[in-house]
């Protein structure tokens, strides 16, 4: 074992705070790679995860043909669906309009987000290889359809570290009863990366936003205790002739102590102006809008404080099979369910874009909007849609993205991709690229392999970059 | 001139270069050729050609498969400069000197190989490859055989060699230390070594008593005592669980439990405590269910070997995959991956899509192993001893003919008096027609029996019966003939059923286990499956696609009966039925049929002890083939149709006599059996045990014997079935099968195909344990070493391949491997004892200065490596020190809050225990031989604030009892850290206690100060608000005063109930009547506990309306009750203020069938149990529905699709009931209603705000603040911020500390010491 490995290994295993990786030069050779690294356009990522699967033909991929042929059979072979209860072509109950200079067509249910059409790059040719929620969620988050691999957030935390000593690099926000999508907290896992890269789940509306963050005793008492503990610890470390691991653990208590103040501070949005809150929908009479808006506002605050990767969580909805874990999952009652879900996130996301832009943060913040798959253009039962992994829409904004662009296409029915098929590997390759990381050189040695977020796949989607 | 000169130089250079090249090719000596061919070409071919060839890939423009390409170089310059190794980029790349590291993504080639390249370039890079290779040549150079031969040179593939000397571990280590010029550390003191021993052997800290005990023992005595402790097994079982990624659920959506997974954990603990030899455990892990001589545990009555195979089932399963083969490939890959890493230290699953990139493992090796596992399938193993499983079976079987004979006699005697069952009697009227119908049904049935079926099985036929797979102890050796019967095990009835021919799980007892599956068949086109089966509600029939064990949308499972239907059938299940399954979806897949009792499906189980199924036939037909009119509904009457007789009575009696007679002689047909079964169930023949003089005593005896049968214990495992070789998948794509690969072991060891008609698991186990297997023993001794010393001799414990790290002491590893098998006879405990008895284990943990620089990772073990305790040990230590540990062993897993050892904490994939996770307990995903040891603030936060730790500290403090401060500090130190405090530690700790005691006084003073500040600020805040409010109120009062004089707020309610005044309607005639316990008490209508209020019919029509109520609830957790409801008199249509129905703790507008209900998405209710809350729902005529709580909007209004009209005289108001006329589950509210009003219009917002406050001139705080100037608003905001800060500060100060708190604080502090979680 050479000394270089030792040092790197030590750095990977030991941290004296969330920011330590960045400070100790995590941008090591692995990242630079032989191919050189792309210039960093963005510093942070906000993932708006639409758990359950948004219907592309009702949101960002208009298909007038569906309405024209409503009620007729699909004119092509229909693949296996998960519920095997396929009906006829189902027209979209929503109208589409052109927005912005780009004239991008967006559904009425996203009318507020659509006002930012010229900031969005909509990828209409996203695909997934699985059509079940848990596997789809794992695939969307990690590139692999099962538990055990690090998520994109964990990889990015590993690659960039946090720019803030007292906050984790990777946060998942929840509020208003939002729960983890199917697959559980494994969707926010560090996988085989060191544990500091797992997401901290931040309950945006809870007095105890991160588990164990609420001090178990008064601050002054705790300070006293830490001083006492530190004295004894120093003697212990000395008796071992100085031990890196023990010293790092000693330091971690100080970091933890500071985090107890830093986390509640960042979560406390009471100091934000009424106008800002309103922009995000915070305080809206619809508590779901308000709760999601709180997450979005908190995301901006985290971005300001150097947190790298933030995932927002949709709130539960019991409509058409959509539940806590997968609120967008309208196997029935699509119109009612998608209306309600879009309403929940539309104002907050639009507000987030406006606010980031106003503060000059949009350029350095990459917003990614995606679910695990799309929905079928034909009905399930009478008024629902089944899962469709063969072609669906996601979008990116900010962070060096070419706004107002539409990339790829599905067929006339919005069923399968016919132009520029795209995978989550491509999506994450692009995100890494914008963060200044060459995805092909960004590896971690695990179980005898140099593993990548993009496995052996992934192409940067240069067409959507400015 | 100069120009000319330089041109000449150029020419010269070209000529010279050509010359050199020509020389080098022309003058290669035979020695050089040999050097190139043996030392260089194979490496180039195997390591470089893949990316740098002249055929299909030349990365960076570089081609290395012939001389000119190599000399030309790539985009970055000259790869090889002949004669000058140090100027050749190739050497830089091979030496990993700069960023360019080759081979790509590989490890550095072995130093001798790199040296060969150096030599070769130095000799001028002689290279006989003068042309690009042909395809054949390229294939030849890169063919697997030659690669295999080279790769087998890797150290771990080499045979284990017993070193001649030295003769013990310390001598090996000493040699390593001397080589580096390092000295070993002094021995550690006894207390330290004792603590180390406790953690290593038992995973628990020593108690003060145990430390005392150890003081008086030799090292060996302590070691022996700890090895004999039951905690040894608990500690080391957890290590083993890491190796095989132990889990208790399958993950994915639904995360289904792995039933009885804990039995495997318990098996490991027992086995390790009993020191069952490793080779035996390995055999059991691979094929414990197939061993000729399994290991039987007579104390527990179980077959231990059988349990071991459960690890094969701890795979991840997806949810309802539409590509079931993909799922099968994936979970089989999971098995191969974990198994080969855990027991061979090899990454065989890397060879799924192509030959292994680095190791001597081919893609065929992978599919050879896939074939072995693919010849098994998910199953359930019965682990009871054979005598338990077979108990009383022979005796019961012997009784049955006797019962049959006796019953037949009893029944024949009763025929004369038998009444004709009504269903038969009614046939008399139209007998000829009825008879024709029965005959038609018979013909139909015969028709479908000759129907063109794609598959057809009759389980009553011996051949078909034996073609199916039978598991469990309930299915007999041969099919049941018609007339078989089952005895009712309790109750008045003697017989449960008389059966047609088929396969049955319960012929002797319904406690027996059974799973019956058809052979696998491939589906082509549109198919429909029919299964003629019966069973109880817990038994099921399903089709299984590609062995996927879960149910799901496209994996239909049919429960064979339901209680309701069973009752109407007079028995315990549905009648015989053709269960239909549409298989069109699965066109192209392999499926089989499975019937199972409650606890015997591979995954979908229910806890019921008794369960049974029976099956007669199954057929696969083209979808659309109509077999609905199949005639089974009158099959039981066919006997009747054939019987002689003038009247139905006569025909019935004749038929009955004949059928009973045939039954007695065991000669019945299916129709006879069904007829008799029908007749018996109609109570026409005596079936009452008391009424059967001959049969009764035998049946009593039968019942007693059956009673003694134990329901088998089931554990997940593998079932053998059709053994078949697996086709290799082209590039791992399961849609592209290529040639079959025979089932066999790794080519690098022995590629002889297994000669067996079973899966080959026995052979696989034997191959693991063959003398020349170089992996098995090295891997396990390295694992044991890792857990004793904190780092393996091979640090990458799961990977002995080229991407792993090399052994620090290769000879020592082999020495231990040989010792383990030859001297210790594969004994775990002996090996552990041997290692902890070394000097190396007992050394001090402080490194010398030399050691820090020369051996920073302490691979040479100059001292004992300090290590962080594993997650489980940290948690267990907390429990031990807190004296809260529940030392119960074994049994079902517990939640992490339970005070049992961590090895018993459940491992649920989708919600892993957060405490254990934060300390690096592995995600159950792959073999984990070496856990990460991270060091993150989340760990500190856990130790500071987690309630489990806080409680442990409280308990630790109260468990220490010494009276003096010094004595108690000493006691705590010894308990938690295994040693006495030093003098200075004692001082510091005493000082800390005093500090804490002083703090109480400080806190009280500080609090007083803060309170005073808060009052001051509040006063200043009010000084801003009050004058403005008064002004606004005055203005409003003036405005209102114009319209009417002072009086209560009234917006024209048509009904008003003020329960302080009584039940009368103050406005109209709709007085309230009490129903049930409803009553007025203390000014409120009390509802709940069966009581509610209802009014007399209303006298107005209502469309737009407003419901208003002031109410307090008994508790917040109640669900779905209505506070105030407007309904039609029956309650069929209603609109209601409903609490907590769709979402807990939320108010909503309830309506008939949710037809006008949508979520307001208001806030969760927090107050209504403590104080009255004012609620209003306003319904506009256009469908808009608005909710208000305490005068402000509740959530978001919405528009309902319809509006209900309520007619006068036909509608009423309810209080405390959602709708209807009587109390039923889930509609009633528990609480107090103070006042309510009903309006015939939708009130507006300000009216509602006024109602909530009761004041017409009410001015809300919001209005007051809104009317302030921005400046004043900011001032106010600052005050509020300051007040909030003070409140926070006050809270943060906490309360004063009691003496108990002070000690708890010290206890908690000790948990925060690094020494608590580090063993040194």
> From the CA of B541, how many Å to the nearest CA of chain A?
20
The closest of A416, A332, A329, A413 to A91, measured between CA atoms, is A413
Predicted local distance difference test score (pLDDT) of residue A168: 86
Predicted local distance difference test score (pLDDT) of residue B574: 62
State phi, psi for B598 to the nearest 5 degrees. -50, -40
By Cβ distance, the residue of B105, B935, B1293 closest to A252 is: B935
User: Can you tell me the mean pLDDT for B1224-1252?
Assistant: 89
DSSP-H helix ranges across B450-509: 462-467
What percent of chain B lies above the pLDDT cut of 70? 95
Instruction: Tally A–B CB contacts below 8 A.
Output: 274
Residue with tokens 């700069």: B98
Predicted local distance difference test score (pLDDT) of residue A319: 83
Which residues have C-beta within 8 Å of that of residue B525, sequence separation ≥ 6?
Answer: B587, B622
Instruction: Report the b/e string of B1259-1277 with b at 16+ CB within 10 A.
Output: beeeebbeeeeeeeeeebe
Residue B1028 pLDDT greater than 60, yes or no = yes
| Alpha-carbon dihedral angle through residues A343, A347, A350, A356, given to the nearest 10 degrees | -140
The residue ranges of DSSP E strands in B540-666, in sequence order, are 540-545, 557-559, 577-582, 590-596, 613-622
pLDDT tens digits, B303-349:
999 999 999 999 999 899 999 999 999 999 999 999 999 999 999 99
H or E stretch covering B1231 = strand B1231-1239
CB-CB neighbors (< 8 A) of B914 in chain A: 211
Say whether B1313 and A236 touch across the interface (CB within 8 A): yes
Predicted local distance difference test score (pLDDT) of residue B22: 45
Say whether A240 and B866 touch across the interface (CB within 8 A): yes
CB-CB neighbors (< 8 A) of B923 in chain A: 147-148, 186, 189, 191
Tokens of B1111: 């109410």
Report the phi/psi class of residue B252: left, alpha or beta, with left for phi > 0 and alpha for psi in -120 to 50: left
Tokens of B348: 């065989």
Beta pairing partners, B1102? B1206
CB-CB neighbors (< 8 A) of B984 in chain A: 235
Distance of CA B876 to the CA centre of its chain: 23
B996 contacts chain A (CB < 8 A): yes
Say whether A195 and B934 touch across the interface (CB within 8 A): yes
Report the phi/psi class of residue B949: left, alpha or beta, with left for phi > 0 and alpha for psi in -120 to 50: alpha
> From the CA of B866, how many Å to the nearest CA of chain A?
8
Beta pairing partners, B480? B502
pLDDT tens digits, B649-690:
999 999 999 999 999 999 999 999 999 999 998 888 888 888
Tokens of B1134: 């209603």
Say whether A218 and B946 touch across the interface (CB within 8 A): no
Residue B1196 pLDDT greater than 80, yes or no = yes
CA atoms in the 13 A half-sphere facing the CB of B651: 20
- Structure confidence at residue A313 as a pLDDT band (50, 70, 90): very high
User: Can you tell me the mean pLDDT for B847-865?
Assistant: 90
Say whether B923 and A191 touch across the interface (CB within 8 A): yes
Say whether B318 and A132 touch across the interface (CB within 8 A): yes
Q: Mean pLDDT across chain A, nearest whole number?
A: 89
Say whether B999 and A1 touch across the interface (CB within 8 A): no
Say whether A133 and B992 touch across the interface (CB within 8 A): no
Q: CA–CA separation, B1206 vs B522, rounded Å?
A: 61
Cα(first)–Cα(last) distance of chain B, in Å? Answer: 80
> From the CA of A69, how many Å to the nearest CA of chain B?
25
The three-class DSSP label of residue A178 is coil
DSSP label at A180?
Answer: P
- Structure confidence at residue B1031 as a pLDDT band (50, 70, 90): confident
Residue with tokens 């009457």: B637
> From the CA of A405, how many Å to the nearest CA of chain B?
33
pLDDT tens digits, B251-262:
888 899 999 999
B857 contacts chain A (CB < 8 A): yes
Predicted local distance difference test score (pLDDT) of residue A17: 39
CB-CB neighbors (< 8 A) of B551 in chain A: none
Least confident segment among A50-59, B6-15, B1020-1029: B6-15
The three-class DSSP label of residue A389 is coil
User: Can you tell me the mean pLDDT for A99-121?
Assistant: 97
Which residues have C-beta within 8 Å of that of residue A144, sequence separation ≥ 6?
Answer: A138, A455
B330 contacts chain A (CB < 8 A): yes
Predicted local distance difference test score (pLDDT) of residue B958: 95
Beta pairing partners, A384? A380
Interface probe with B: pick from A193, A195, A265, A452, most Cβ of B within 10 Å: A195
Contact at 8 Å (CB) between A385 and A334?
Answer: yes
Q: CA–CA separation, B577 vs B767, rounded Å?
A: 49
In 10 A of CB B322, how many CB atoms? 23
State phi, psi for B1301 to the nearest 5 degrees. -60, -40
Interface probe with B: pick from A147, A165, A384, most Cβ of B within 10 Å: A147
Predicted local distance difference test score (pLDDT) of residue B223: 98
Contact at 8 Å (CB) between A237 and A247?
Answer: yes
CB-CB neighbors (< 8 A) of A170 in chain B: none
B350 contacts chain A (CB < 8 A): yes
Say whether A135 and B316 touch across the interface (CB within 8 A): no
> If you measure CA to CA, which chain A residue comes closest to B854?
A3
pLDDT tens digits, B772-797:
999 999 999 999 999 999 999 999 99
Residue B92 pLDDT greater than 90, yes or no = no
Tokens of B385: 């001893």
Say whether B946 and A212 touch across the interface (CB within 8 A): yes
Say whether B846 and A240 touch across the interface (CB within 8 A): yes
- What is B297-347 written as a DSSP string? ETTTTEEHHHHGGGGGG-----SS-S-HHHHHHHHHHHHHHHHHHHHH---
CB-CB neighbors (< 8 A) of B319 in chain A: 132-135, 182
CB-CB neighbors (< 8 A) of A148 in chain B: 923, 925-926
Say whether B937 and A288 touch across the interface (CB within 8 A): no
Say whether A134 and B318 touch across the interface (CB within 8 A): yes
The three-class DSSP label of residue A458 is coil
In 10 A of CB B1034, how many CB atoms? 12
Predicted local distance difference test score (pLDDT) of residue B105: 62
Q: CA–CA separation, A244 vs B1318, rounded Å?
A: 12
Q: How far is CA B941 from CA B563, B954, B1291, in A?
A: 53, 18, 20
pLDDT tens digits, B1271-1284:
888 888 888 888 88
B554 contacts chain A (CB < 8 A): yes
Say whether A449 and B803 touch across the interface (CB within 8 A): yes
Contact at 8 Å (CB) between A44 and A279?
Answer: no
User: Can you tell me the mean pLDDT for A375-404?
Assistant: 96
Q: CA–CA separation, B1079 vs B1188, rounded Å?
A: 27
Residue B1000 pLDDT greater than 80, yes or no = yes
Say whether B938 and A200 touch across the interface (CB within 8 A): yes
CB-CB neighbors (< 8 A) of B545 in chain A: none
Predicted local distance difference test score (pLDDT) of residue A23: 34
Say whether B1314 and A236 touch across the interface (CB within 8 A): yes
Contact at 8 Å (CB) between B157 and B813?
Answer: no
> If you measure CA to CA, which chain B residue comes closest to A241?
B846
Which residues have C-beta within 8 Å of that of residue B926, sequence separation ≥ 6?
Answer: A148, A447, B245, B337, B338, B341, B798
CB-CB neighbors (< 8 A) of A184 in chain B: 255, 909-911
By Cβ distance, the residue of A146, A220, A248 closest to B935 is: A248
Report the phi/psi class of residue B203: left, alpha or beta, with left for phi > 0 and alpha for psi in -120 to 50: left
β B1055-1058/B1231-1239 pair status: antiparallel
Cis ω for the linkage preceding B1079 (within 30 of 0): no
What percent of chain A lies above the pLDDT cut of 90? 65
User: Can you tell me the mean pLDDT for B452-470?
Assistant: 93
Residue of higher predicted confidence among B164 and A459: A459
Beta pairing partners, B187? B843
Beta pairing partners, B548? none
* Dihedral (CA of B656, B660, B662, B663) sign: positive
Instruction: Report the b/e string of A329-340 with b at 16+ CB within 10 A.
Output: bbbbbbbbbbbb
> From the CA of B243, how many Å to the nearest CA of chain A?
13
Least confident segment among B128-132, B1063-1067, B1070-1074, B1115-1119: B128-132
pLDDT tens digits, A316-362:
988 888 888 999 999 999 999 999 999 999 999 999 999 999 999 99
Predicted local distance difference test score (pLDDT) of residue B1238: 96
Say whether A146 and B330 touch across the interface (CB within 8 A): yes
β A417-419/B1121-1128 pair status: unpaired
Predicted local distance difference test score (pLDDT) of residue B99: 66
By Cβ distance, the residue of B910, B938, B985 closest to A184 is: B910
> From the CA of B873, how many Å to the nearest CA of chain A?
17
Interface probe with A: pick from B62, B99, B953, B1161, most Cβ of A within 10 Å: B1161
β B485-487/B495-498 pair status: antiparallel
Tokens of B928: 């984990």
* Dihedral (CA of B26, B31, B34, B40) sign: negative
Say whether B804 and A224 touch across the interface (CB within 8 A): no
Say whether B923 and A246 touch across the interface (CB within 8 A): no
Say whether B1292 and A259 touch across the interface (CB within 8 A): no
Per residue, what are the HEC states of B354-404?
CCCCCCCCCHHHHHHHHHHHHCEEEEEEECECHHHHCCCHHHHHHHHHHHH
Residue B948 pLDDT greater than 60, yes or no = yes
Predicted local distance difference test score (pLDDT) of residue B1: 42
pLDDT tens digits, B265-297:
999 999 999 999 999 999 999 999 999 999 999
Q: CA–CA separation, A349 vs A372, rounded Å?
A: 19
Predicted local distance difference test score (pLDDT) of residue A30: 40
Per residue, what are the HEC states of B507-518?
CCCCCCCCEEEC
DSSP label at A191?
Answer: T
Predicted local distance difference test score (pLDDT) of residue B23: 45
> If you measure CA to CA, which chain B residue comes closest to A36?
B99
Interface probe with A: pick from B74, B938, B981, most Cβ of A within 10 Å: B938
Say whether A146 and B1314 touch across the interface (CB within 8 A): no
B948 contacts chain A (CB < 8 A): no
């Amino acid at each position: 074992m050479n000394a270089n490995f030792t040092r790197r290994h030590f750095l990977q295993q030991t941290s004296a705070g969330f920011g330590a990786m960045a400070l100790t030069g995590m941008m090591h050779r692995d990242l630079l790679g032989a191919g050189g690294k792309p210039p960093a356009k963005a510093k942070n990522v906000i993932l708006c995860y639409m758990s359950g699967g948004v219907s592309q033909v009702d949101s960002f991929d208009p298909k007038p043909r569906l309405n024209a042929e409503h009620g007729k059979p699909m004119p092509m072979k229909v693949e296996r669906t998960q519920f095997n209860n396929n009906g006829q072509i189902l027209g979209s109950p929503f109208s589409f309009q052109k927005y912005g200079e780009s004239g991008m067509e967006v559904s009425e249910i996203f009318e507020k987000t659509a006002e930012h059409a010229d900031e969005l790059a909509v990828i209409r040719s996203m695909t997934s290889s699985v059509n079940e929620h848990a596997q789809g969620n794992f695939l969307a988050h990690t590139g692999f359809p099962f538990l055990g691999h690090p998520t994109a957030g964990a990889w990015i935390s590993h690659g960039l570290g946090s720019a803030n000593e007292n906050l984790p690099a990777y946060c998942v926000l929840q509020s208003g009863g939002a729960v983890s999508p199917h697959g559980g907290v494994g969707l926010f896992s560090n996988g085989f990366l060191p544990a500091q890269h797992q997401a901290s789940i931040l309950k945006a509306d809870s007095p105890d936003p991160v588990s164990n963050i609420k001090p178990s005793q008064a601050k002054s008492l705790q300070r006293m205790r830490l001083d006492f503990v530190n004295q004894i610890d120093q003697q212990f470390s000395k008796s071992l002739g100085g031990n890196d691991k023990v010293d790092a653990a000693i330091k971690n208590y100080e970091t933890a102590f500071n985090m107890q103040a830093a986390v509640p501070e960042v979560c406390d949005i009471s100091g934000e102006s009424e106008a800002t809150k309103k922009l995000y929908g915070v305080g809206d009479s619809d508590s779901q809008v308000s709760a999601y808006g709180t997450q979005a506002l908190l995301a901006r605050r985290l971005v300001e404080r150097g947190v790298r990767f933030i995932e927002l969580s949709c709130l539960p909805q019991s409509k058409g099979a959509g539940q806590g874990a997968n609120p967008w999952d309208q196997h029935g009652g699509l119109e009612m369910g998608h209306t309600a879900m879009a309403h929940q996130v539309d104002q907050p996301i639009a507000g987030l874009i406006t606010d980031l832009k106003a503060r000059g943060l949009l350029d350095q913040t990459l917003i990614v909007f995606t679910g695990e798959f799309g929905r079928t253009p034909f009905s399930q039962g009478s008024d629902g849609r089944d899962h469709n992994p063969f072609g669906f829409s996601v979008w990116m904004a900010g962070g060096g993205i070419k706004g107002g662009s539409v990339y790829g296409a599905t067929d006339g029915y919005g069923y399968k991709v016919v132009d520029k098929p795209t995978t989550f590997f491509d999506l994450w390759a692009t995100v890494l690229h914008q963060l200044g990381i060459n995805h092909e050189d960004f590896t971690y040695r695990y179980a005898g392999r140099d593993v990548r977020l993009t496995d052996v796949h992934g192409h940067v989607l240069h067409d959507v970059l400015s | 001139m100069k120009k000319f000169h330089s041109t000449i130089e150029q020419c010269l250079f070209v000529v010279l270069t050509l010359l050199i090249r020509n020389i080098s090719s022309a003058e290669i000596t035979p020695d050089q050729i040999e050097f190139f061919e043996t030392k260089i070409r194979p490496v180039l071919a195997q390591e470089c050609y893949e990316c740098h060839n002249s055929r299909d890939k030349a990365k960076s423009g570089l081609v290395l498969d012939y001389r000119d390409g190599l000399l030309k170089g790539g985009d970055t310059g000259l790869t090889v400069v002949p004669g000058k190794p140090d100027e050749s980029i190739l050497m830089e790349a091979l030496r990993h000197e700069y960023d360019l590291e080759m081979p790509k993504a590989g490890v550095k080639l072995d130093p001798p190989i790199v040296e060969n390249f150096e030599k070769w370039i130095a000799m001028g890079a002689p290279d006989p490859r003068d042309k690009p290779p042909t395809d054949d040549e390229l294939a030849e150079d890169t063919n697997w055989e030659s690669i295999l031969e080279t790769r087998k040179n890797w150290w771990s593939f080499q045979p284990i060699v017993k070193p001649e000397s030295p003769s013990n571990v310390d001598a090996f280590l000493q040699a390593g230390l001397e080589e580096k010029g390092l000295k070993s550390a002094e021995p550690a003191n006894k207390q330290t070594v004792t603590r180390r021993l406790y953690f290593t052997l038992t995973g628990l800290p020593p108690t003060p008593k145990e430390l005392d005990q150890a003081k008086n023992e030799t090292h060996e005595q302590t070691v022996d005592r700890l090895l004999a402790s039951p905690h040894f097994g608990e500690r080391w079982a957890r290590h083993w669980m890491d190796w095989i990624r132990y889990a208790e659920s399958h993950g994915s959506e639904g995360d289904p439990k792995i039933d009885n997974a804990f039995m495997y954990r318990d098996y490991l603990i027992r086995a390790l405590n009993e020191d069952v030899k490793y080779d035996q455990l390995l055999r059991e892990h691979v094929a414990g269910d197939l061993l000729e001589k399994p290991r039987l545990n007579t104390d527990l009555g179980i077959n231990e070997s059988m349990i071991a195979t459960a690890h094969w089932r701890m795979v991840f399963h997806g949810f309802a995959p539409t590509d079931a083969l993909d799922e099968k490939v994936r979970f089989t890959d999971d098995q191969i991956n974990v198994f080969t890493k855990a027991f061979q230290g090899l990454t065989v699953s890397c060879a799924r899509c192509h030959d292994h990139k680095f190791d001597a493992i081919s893609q065929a090796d992978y599919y050879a192993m896939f074939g072995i596992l693919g010849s098994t399938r998910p199953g359930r193993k019965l682990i009871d001893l054979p005598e338990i499983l077979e108990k009383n079976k022979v005796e019961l079987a012997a009784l049955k003919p006797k019962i049959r004979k006796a019953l037949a006699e009893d029944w024949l005697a009763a025929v004369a008096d038998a009444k004709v069952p009504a269903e038969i009697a009614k046939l008399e009227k139209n007998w000829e027609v009825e008879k024709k119908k029965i005959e038609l049904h018979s013909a139909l049935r015969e028709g479908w029996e000759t129907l063109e079926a794609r598959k057809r099985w009759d389980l009553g036929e011996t051949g078909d019966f034996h073609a199916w797979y039978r598991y469990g102890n309930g299915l007999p050796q041969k099919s049941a003939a018609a007339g078989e019967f089952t005895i009712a095990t309790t109750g008045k009835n003697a017989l449960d059923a008389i059966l047609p021919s088929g396969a049955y799980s319960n012929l002797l007892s319904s406690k027996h286990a059974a799973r019956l599956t058809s052979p696998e068949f491939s589906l082509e086109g549109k198919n429909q499956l029919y299964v003629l089966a019966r069973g109880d509600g817990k038994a099921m029939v399903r089709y299984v696609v590609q062995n996927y064990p879960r149910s799901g949308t496209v994996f239909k499972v049919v429960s064979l009966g339901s209680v309701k239907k069973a009752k109407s059938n007079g028995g315990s299940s549905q009648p015989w039925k053709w269960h239909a399954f549409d298989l069109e979806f699965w066109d192209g897949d392999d499926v089989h049929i499975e019937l199972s009792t409650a606890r015997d499906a591979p995954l979908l189980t229910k806890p019921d002890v008794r369960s049974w199924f029976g099956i007669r036939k199954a057929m696969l037909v083209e979808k659309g083939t109509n077999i609905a009119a199949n005639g089974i509904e009158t099959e039981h009457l066919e006997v009747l149709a054939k019987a002689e007789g003038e009247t139905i009575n006569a025909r019935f009696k004749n038929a009955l006599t004949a059928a009973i007679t045939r039954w007695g002689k065991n000669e019945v047909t299916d129709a006879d059996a069904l007829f008799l079964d029908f007749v018996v169930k109609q109570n026409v023949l005596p079936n009452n045990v008391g009424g059967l003089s001959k049969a009764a005593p035998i049946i009593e005896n039968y019942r007693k014997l059956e009673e003694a049968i134990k329901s088998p214990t089931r554990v997940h495992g593998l079932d053998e079935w059709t053994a078949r070789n697996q086709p290799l998948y082209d590039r791992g794509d399961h849609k592209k099968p290529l040639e079959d690969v025979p089932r066999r072991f790794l080519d690098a060891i022995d590629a002889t195909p297994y000669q067996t008609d079973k899966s080959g698991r026995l052979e696989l186990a034997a191959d693991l344990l063959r003398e020349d297997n170089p992996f098995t023993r090295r891997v396990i001794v390295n694992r044991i070493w890792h857990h004793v010393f904190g780092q393996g001799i091979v640090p990458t414990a799961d990977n002995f391949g080229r991407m792993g790290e090399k052994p620090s002491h290769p000879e020592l590893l082999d020495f231990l491997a040989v010792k383990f098998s030859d001297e210790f006879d594969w004994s775990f405990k002996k090996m552990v004892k041997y290692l902890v008895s070394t000097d190396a284990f007992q050394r001090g943990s402080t490194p010398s200065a030399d050691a820090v620089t020369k051996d920073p990772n302490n691979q040479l073990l100059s001292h004992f490596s300090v290590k962080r305790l594993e997650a489980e040990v940290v948690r267990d230590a907390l429990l031990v020190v807190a004296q809260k540990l529940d030392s119960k062993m074994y049994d079902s897993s517990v939640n992490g809050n339970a005070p049992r050892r961590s090895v018993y904490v459940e491992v649920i994939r989708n919600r892993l225990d957060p405490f254990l996770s934060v300390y690096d307990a592995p995600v159950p995903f792959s073999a984990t031989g070496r856990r990460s040891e991270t060091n993150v603030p989340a760990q500190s936060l856990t130790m500071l604030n987690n309630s489990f730790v806080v409680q442990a500290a409280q308990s630790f403090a109260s468990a220490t009892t010494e009276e003096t401060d010094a004595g108690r500090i000493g006691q705590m130190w010894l308990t938690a850290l295994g040693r006495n405090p030093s003098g200075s530690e004692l001082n510091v700790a005493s000082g800390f206690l005093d500090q804490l005691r002083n703090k109480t006084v400080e806190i009280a003073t500080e609090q007083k100060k803060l309170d005073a500040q808060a009052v001051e600020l509040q006063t200043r805040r009010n000084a801003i608000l009050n004058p403005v409010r008064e002004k606004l109120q005055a203005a409003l009062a003036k405005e209102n005063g114009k319209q009417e004089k002072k009086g209560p707020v009234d917006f024209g309610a048509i009904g008003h109930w003020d329960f302080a005044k009584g039940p009368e309607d103050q406005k109209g005639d709709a007085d309230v009547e009490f129903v049930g316990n409803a009553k007025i008490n203390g000014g409120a209508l009390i509802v709940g506990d069966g009581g509610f209020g209802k009014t007399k019919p209303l006298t107005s029509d209502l469309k737009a309306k407003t419901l208003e109520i002031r109410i307090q609830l008994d508790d917040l957790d109640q669900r779905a009750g209505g506070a105030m409801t407007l309904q039609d008199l029956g309650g069929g249509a209603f609109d209601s203020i409903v609490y907590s129905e769709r979402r807990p703790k939320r108010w909503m507008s309830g309506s008939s069938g949710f037809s006008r209900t949508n979520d307001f998405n208001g806030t969760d209710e927090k107050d209504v149990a403590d104080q009255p809350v004012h609620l209003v729902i306003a319904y506009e005529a256009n469908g808009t529905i608005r909710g208000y709580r305490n005068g402000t909007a509740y959530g978001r209004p919405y528009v309902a699709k319809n509006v209900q009209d309520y007619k006068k005289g036909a509608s009423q108001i309810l209080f405390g009931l959602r709708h209807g006329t009587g109390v039923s589950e889930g509609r009633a509210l528990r609480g107090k209603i103070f006042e309510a009003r009903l309006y015939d219009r939708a009130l507006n917002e300000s009216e509602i705000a006024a109602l909530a406050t009761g004041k017409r001139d009410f001015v809300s705080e919001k209005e007051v603040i809104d009317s302030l100037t921005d400046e004043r608003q900011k001032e106010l905001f600052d005050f509020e911020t300051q007040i909030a800060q003070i409140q926070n500060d006050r809270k943060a100060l906490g309360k004063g500390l009691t003496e108990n708190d002070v000690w708890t604080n010290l206890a908690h502090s000790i948990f925060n010491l690094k020494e608590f979680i580090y063993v040194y």
